[in-house]
Amino acid sequence: MTSATLFWLVLFGLSAALFFVTAAVITVVGVRDLKDLLRKTEMTK
Amino acid sequence: MRFQVVDWIILFLYLGLSVFVGLWVKKYVENMEGYFVAGRRVKIALGSATLIATEIGIVTFMYLGEIGYVTGFSCFVLGITGLIGFIVIGKTGFVISGLRRLKVMTIPEYYELRYSRGVRLIGGIVLFFAGVLNMGIFLRMDGIFLTETMGFSSDVLTPVMVIMLLIVISYTVLGGMFSVIVTDFLQFVILTFGMLTATVFVVLEVDLTSIADAVTQGMGEEGVNPFVNPKFGWTFIIWMLVASICTSALYQPVASKSFASENPEAGRKLFLVAGLTLAGRYMIPMFWGVAALALFGPDLSPTMAMPKLLGTVVPSGFLGLMIAGMLAASMSTYSAYMLAWSSVAARDIIPPLLCKEMGERTTMHTSRIISILIGIFILVFGLWYELPATAFQYIAITGAMYSAGAFGCVAFGLYWKKANIVGAYTSLILGAVAPLAFLVLSQIKNVIPESFHFLIDVNVSGFLSFLLAALGMIAGSLFTQRAYPPRHLQPQE
């Protein structure tokens, strides 16, 4: 394994980790946002 | 047969859940603003999830997996250029904050506010046809992917894809943006699990050292250095960077998520959050493609390699979860695109052509009918139309036809006080000239003089379309300031 391939594999690992961590945070906060959206819409009907 | 009973159960549970959620939400649609922009009450996390789900589809996985198989690690640079584009928009609010402040529902709507109804009509027509044609290849790519991963012939899979499309049409037509956002969120969660499942099994089954060796031994320097790879190079990378910053926020299916946000600040920040995921969501399918190169060697069809890998390494049970994730990715893309293009037709094309305003109910019904027609088009075009070999190139260049003119009209309209109606028409027309020249000249390249061959370089054509659109806007506006004084807009909030 050369330093160039190691660089890309590490970059891939970091990018994939950032994707899955961000997705987990979005999911948790998004559930709250979704409830809020439906509640506010229900109130204005 | 790789796809077992347990996989079918998981797949149909997901499809059933999509139907239930999509139709349940339709009760929240009370008016046109609810139908097209979900009442503009969407917060950052929910908006980011729906934006990411829109941007990820099977067609994206296929294209990125293919480029990974063909170019090795070099293509990872596209994840970096895309990330920079989204982060710049997310930090500065370039274009998107201005549009959200004006409370538009579609991008051509801005053309009428800033220029004239005629500019809105021309811009709307170009956007609608470029966008619908762009969708034409999606279902075909889905078919290739599912055939390779599930191990069935297209006879078995055609009904699955028809059912998937009918579900998307039904909830998009009935619930509009409300259904799109809520189902997008569900699909975002499922597609993330699908991507995680696929990546874990690829890493477990294909050794990282063998992946690195396959690239260095098979491709040499070209596999690890994008600047020397003949498919990329400096011009392509700079072109991708410019296009990413200039056009990421100008695509109606993406921009509509920002228009639905609760305020301009949230509309800007969802690009920032979605940008954090961009490098990963590009590089993950690219990595699957590189792993396919290590496992199968370089002699497979590049389109088939990545799905064949996933069908090989992901075991039954998990395969159902992964396929559900992939279908979720596609369904969220179809619904957003369908709603985006039908809203452009119902709001930007039909009223100017009829020379009269349409009421809220009529506009929503028109949008619903057009959504159904788009669904039928996708089905016919995607399943039964034999695509020519250069279809992807053709569709990419029709996208450039729209985005260069849109960049000229929107960016200059927002940030340059002298932009006027003549500049807008000139920008829309000149933005389409270079891609159109590319399209025509590439068909007759054997008979055109050598000195004109630069026009059939797709990178040059892309650069030229933006340059000509910008120059058209500047020259057209400056020479006609007195005859056509520019309009100035006041934000609505």
Q: Can you read off the two tokens belonging to residue B128?
A: 């609608």
**pLDDT confidence of residue B153:** 76
Between CA B438 and CA B398 the distance in angstroms is 10
Instruction: Mutate one of A6, A12, A28 to test the B interface: name it (highest B CB count within 10 A).
Output: A12
Helix (H, G, I), strand (E, B) or coil at B481: coil
**pLDDT confidence of residue B233:** 85
**pLDDT confidence of residue B389:** 44
Q: Are B280 and A45 a contacting pair at CB < 8 A?
A: no
Radius of gyration of chain B from Cα atoms?
Answer: 22
B234 touches B81 (CB < 8 A): no
- Low-confidence spans in chain B with pLDDT less than 70: 1-2, 30, 239, 383-398, 402, 439, 443, 445, 450, 452-456, 458-459, 490-493
Q: Is A5 an 8 Å CB contact of chain B? A: yes
Q: Which residues pair with B261 in a beta bridge?
A: B42
Tens digit of pLDDT for each residue in B282-312?
A: 999 999 999 999 999 998 888 889 998 999 9
Between CA B74 and CA B85 the distance in angstroms is 19
**pLDDT confidence of residue B335:** 92
Q: Which residues of B touch A2 (CB under 8 A)?
A: 212, 216, 224
Instruction: Mutate one of B43, B75, B221 to test the A interface: name it (highest A CB count within 10 A).
Output: B43
**pLDDT confidence of residue B425:** 94
Between CA B342 and CA B139 the distance in angstroms is 18
Q: Which residues of A touch B28 (CB under 8 A)?
A: 38, 41-42, 45
Q: Are A41 and B178 a contacting pair at CB < 8 A?
A: yes
Facing residue for B212 by CB, picked from A5, A17, A38: A5
Three-class DSSP labels, B237-293: HHHHHHHHHHHHHHCHHHHHHHHCECCHHHHHHHHHHHHHHHHHHHHHHHHHHHHHH
Tens digit of pLDDT for each residue in B367-396?
A: 989 999 999 888 887 765 555 444 545 556
Q: Which residues of A touch B77 (CB under 8 A)?
A: none
Q: Are B283 and A18 a contacting pair at CB < 8 A?
A: no
- Alpha-carbon B260 to chain mean position: 18
Q: Is A26 an 8 Å CB contact of chain B? A: yes
- Alpha-carbon B222 to chain mean position: 28
Mean pLDDT computed over A2-20: 93
Q: Is A43 an 8 Å CB contact of chain B? A: no
Between CA B85 and CA B77 the distance in angstroms is 13
Q: Can you read off the two tokens belonging to residue B418?
A: 């002298």
Instruction: Mutate one of B28, B225, B262 to test the A interface: name it (highest A CB count within 10 A).
Output: B28
- Alpha-carbon B378 to chain mean position: 15
Facing residue for A15 by CB, picked from B178, B185, B279: B279
Q: Are B284 and A19 a contacting pair at CB < 8 A?
A: yes
| Best CA proximity match to B90, nearest among B48, B42, B39, B46 | B48
Facing residue for A18 by CB, picked from B25, B188, B280: B280
Facing residue for B283 by CB, picked from A15, A29, A36: A15
* Contacts (Cβ under 8 Å, ≥6 apart) of B281: A19, B52, B55, B56, B195
Q: How far off is chain B from A39, nearest CA to CA, in Å? A: 10
Task: Give, rounded to a whole angstrom, the gap between the first and last alpha carbons of chain A.
Answer: 62
Q: Are B76 and A42 a contacting pair at CB < 8 A?
A: no
Q: Can you read off the two tokens belonging to residue B430?
A: 């000149």
Mean pLDDT computed over A26-30: 95
Q: Which residues pair with B42 in a beta bridge?
A: B261
**pLDDT confidence of residue B387:** 52
pLDDT, mean over chain B: 86
Phi and psi of B261, rounded to 5°? Answer: -75, 160
Q: Are A8 and B73 a contacting pair at CB < 8 A?
A: yes
Q: Can you read off the two tokens belonging to residue B332?
A: 């969220």
**pLDDT confidence of residue B458:** 67
Distance (Å) of CA B285 to CA A38, B62, B79, B222, B352 = 34, 8, 11, 19, 43
Q: How far off is chain A from B45, nearest CA to CA, in Å? A: 5
3-state DSSP: chain B helix, strand, coil percent, rounded to 5? 80, 0, 20
Tens digit of pLDDT for each residue in B168-190?
A: 988 898 899 888 999 999 999 99
Element holding B384 (H helix, E strand): helix B360-384
Q: Which residues of A touch B30 (CB under 8 A)?
A: 41, 44-45
| Best CA proximity match to B270, nearest among B43, B32, B29 | B43
Chain pair A-B, CB pairs under 8 angstroms: 117
Between CA B76 and CA B325 the distance in angstroms is 23
**pLDDT confidence of residue B493:** 45
Q: Which residues of B touch A41 (CB under 8 A)?
A: 28, 30, 34, 39, 41, 178
Say which DSSP state B346 is in.
I
